[in-house]
Amino acid sequence: MLERTWLKKQTEITFVLPAGHPAGEVSVVGDFTDWQPGPHPLAERSDGSRSVTVTLPVSQHHQFRYLADGGHCLDEEEADGHDGCNSLLHT
């Protein structure tokens, strides 16, 4: 799930995964991280879900995925689209 907060020149995107899915550590990777895992790991919330908030400039298009333990990639069902390989996000 994606939660968005629009600011004047930035958009805060909160990436959210349900409790326990998938098991293990998960990061958001995308063109805004040069596809490197680590800068945006999801942390557990009080309800058991996991999330991370990333601030991006407005009026841009990005590609991203969730990267789980073992190199498994996951798509975001609520993304703004999919290009056949990645989830798409419009700020």
pLDDT digits (tens, 9 = 90+) for 35-80: 998 899 999 999 999 999 999 999 999 999 999 988 899 999 999 9
Block residue for tokens 């073992």: 70
pLDDT band at residue 20 under the 50/70/90 scheme:
confident
Once rounded to an integer, what is the mean pLDDT over residues 1-13?
A: 94
Instruction: Check: pTM over 0.85? Answer yes or no.
Output: yes
Q: What is the pLDDT of residue 70?
A: 87
Sign, Cα dihedral of 24, 25, 31, 36 = negative
Domain count, the chain: 1
| DSSP 8-state code for residue 72 | E
Q: CB neighbours (10 Å) of residue 26?
A: 23
- Helix, strand, coil abundance in the chain, percent, nearest 5: 5, 50, 45
Q: What is the pLDDT of residue 55?
A: 96
Once rounded to an integer, what is the mean pLDDT over residues 28-37?
A: 94
Q: Are 44 and 21 in contact (CB under 8 A)?
A: no
Quote the domain boundaries for residue 80. Answer: 2-90
Question: How do beta strands 87-90 and 2-6 pair?
Answer: unpaired
Cα(86)–Cα(76) distance, integer angstroms: 9
Task: Name the residue type at position 6.
Answer: W
CATH of the domain at 43: 2.60.40.10
